[in-house]
């Protein structure tokens, strides 16, 4: 892909926030002020611990949730001002592949019945013969051959890896521009993960499909997005973003540094000294219902000071990426000496 094409924006998130109502009607701020520009053909890995807002972000991008605040642009236009044809292009163009492939398929329908339905709904196929032909093409693409054997089956008759491939084929059959893959390999046998990740990178290269790859696993994030970007989330906020190689070799935010140090295979150069220091202050992730003041990481951060307690840092340009930390310069100086 040429550089010119790479700079085209497919989707933009502008100051997106998402509040949910808790059981006692309390407000849960699942996302706060997220800005993200997704380019055509780009792979972005979204990482962070459980509950940091990854799935919420994915669902907002795919149009499953409407954000409480902020704007979502598709090809430069606010999705609220798209005409019927453009809105259809957006809804078909952005597909989501879920973590739980069993829950994502109707257990009482054959794979053909489930996958042909959206083809008919969106007038991509006129009859069964056309639907079989289209699905056969994509089943071959994702390595499910002979396709007719799989089309006749029910979800429970297939393995997790096969169901995940079927979800990918279902997404591909809509000819998407962007696939939001939410932990697509976490429930799949370890031995099959790499082949599924390879399949996604192949789809990215062949069809120029952009991917948002949501995961809590830095190893697979590095694998799939080796030429892409990473977005690191903490308690609903984007706290670091950069090209993934640069980000993993030289993490800027203390939290991301700690995450990487905890996974030696992500970057063997970073030892676990830092993570040992980190829990000295607090092991626990604060609750979204009782957030700390200022920087949401300050109760766990070894570098915090008064400013961190009072003032929430904004995501700012730093060394080719962006980081939300008041003291990124000082932290980098200290951690580069330690590493």
Residues that bind ligand ATP (CB under 6 A): 20, 28, 30, 48, 50-56, 216, 288
- Minimum distance, C-beta of residue 181 to Mg ion, in the bound complex (Å): 12
Q: Which residue shows structure tokens 């829990």?
A: 279
Helix H or strand E segment including 240: strand 237-243
Q: Is 14 exposed, middle or buried (0-12, 13-18, 19+ CB in 10 A)?
A: middle
**Whole-angstrom distance, CA of residue 233 vs CA of residue 139:** 34
Selected range binding ligand SF4 among 31-39, 70-78, 131-139, 323-331, rule: CB under 6 A: 323-331
* Binder of ligand SF4 out of 313, 321, 332, 335 (CB under 6 A): 313
Q: Which is nearer to Mg ion, 54 or 229 (CB)?
A: 54
Which tokens in the block code for residue 15? 């100051």
**Which DSSP string do the residues of 263-275 spell out, in sequence order?**
-TTT-TTS-THHH
CA pair distance 113, 151, nearest whole angstrom: 8
Rg of the chain over all Cα atoms, to the nearest angstrom: 21
Q: Which CB sits closer to ligand ATP, 20 or 87?
A: 20
Residue (117 or 285) nearer to ligand ATP, CB: 285
Strands 210-215 and 178-182: parallel
Q: How far apart are CA 220 and CA 195, in angstroms?
A: 12
**Of positions 10, 55, 165, 166, contacts Mg ion by CB under 5 A:** 55
Closest CB to ligand SF4 among 150 and 297? 297
Stretch touching ligand SF4 by CB under 6 A, among 52-60, 158-166, 271-279, 292-300? 292-300
Task: Establish if 169 lies at the interface with ligand SF4 (CB under 6 A).
Answer: no
> Sheet holding 9-21: strands in order across?
27-39, 9-21, 69-74, 77-78
Judged by CB under 6 A, does residue 326 bind ligand SF4? yes
Distance (Å, whole) CA 6 – CA 265: 30
CA-nearest of 198, 201, 194 to 179 is 201
Whether 37 contacts 241, CB under 8 Å? no
Helix (H) or strand (E) holding 27: strand 27-39
Positions 247 through 286 that interact with ligand SF4 (CB under 6 A) = 254
Name the binder of 327 from Mg ion, ligand SF4, ligand ATP, none, CB < 5-8 A by kind: ligand SF4
Nearer to ligand ATP (CB atom), residue 60 or residue 134: 60
Nearer to Mg ion, 183 or 240 (CB): 183
| Among the residue ranges 21-29, 49-57, 148-156, 294-302, the one whose residues contact Mg ion (CB under 5 A) | 49-57
Binding-site partner at residue 43 among Mg ion, ligand SF4, ligand ATP, none, CB < 5 to 8 Å by type: none
What is the Cα–Cα distance from 48 to 70, expressed in whole angstroms? 22
> Which of 173/241 has CB closer to ligand ATP?
241
Contact segment (CB under 6 A) with ligand SF4 among 70-78, 118-126, 189-197, 296-304 equals 296-304
- Least CB distance to ligand SF4 at residue 325 (A): 3
Burial of 30 (0-12, 13-18, 19+ CB in 10 A): buried
Size of the site for Mg ion (CB under 5 A): 2
Residues forming contacts to ligand SF4 in the complex (CB under 6 A) are 254, 295, 297-298, 301, 303-304, 308, 313, 325-327
């Amino acid at each position: 892909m040429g550089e010119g094409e790479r700079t085209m924006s497919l989707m933009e998130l502008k100051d997106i926030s998402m509040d949910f109502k808790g059981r006692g009607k309390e407000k849960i701020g699942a996302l706060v002020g997220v800005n993200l520009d997704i380019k055509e053909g780009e792979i972005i890995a979204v990482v962070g611990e459980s509950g940091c807002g990854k799935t919420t972000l994915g669902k907002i991008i795919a149009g499953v949730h409407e954000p409480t605040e902020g704007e979502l642009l598709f090809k430069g236009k606010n999705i609220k001002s798209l005409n019927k044809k453009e809105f259809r292009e957006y809804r078909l163009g952005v597909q989501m592949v879920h973590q739980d492939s069993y829950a994502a398929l109707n257990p009482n329908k054959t794979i053909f019945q489930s996958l042909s339905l959206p083809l008919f709904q969106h007038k991509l196929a006129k009859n069964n013969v056309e639907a079989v032909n289209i699905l056969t093409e994509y089943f071959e693409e994702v390595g499910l051959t002979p396709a007719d054997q799989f089309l006749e089956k029910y979800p429970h008759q297939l393995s997790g890896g096969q169901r995940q491939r079927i979800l990918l084929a279902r997404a591909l059959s809509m000819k998407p521009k962007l696939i939001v893959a939410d932990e697509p390999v976490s429930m799949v046998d370890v031995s099959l993960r790499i082949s599924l990740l390879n399949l996604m990178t192949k789809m990215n290269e062949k069809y120029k499909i952009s991917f948002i790859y949501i995961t809590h696993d830095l190893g697979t994030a590095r694998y799939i997005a080796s030429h892409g970007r990473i977005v690191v989330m903490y308690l609903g906020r984007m706290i670091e973003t950069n090209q993934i190689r640069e980000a993993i070799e030289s993490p800027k935010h203390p939290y991301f540094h700690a995450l990487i140090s905890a996974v030696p295979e992500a970057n063997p150069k970073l030892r676990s000294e830092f993570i040992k220091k980190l829990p000295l202050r607090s092991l626990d992730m604060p609750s979204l219902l009782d957030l700390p003041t200022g920087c949401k990481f300050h109760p766990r951060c070894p570098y915090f000071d008064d400013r961190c307690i009072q003032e929430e840092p904004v995501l700012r340009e730093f060394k080719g990426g962006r980081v939300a930390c008041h003291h990124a310069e000082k932290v980098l100086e200290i951690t580069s000496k330690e590493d």
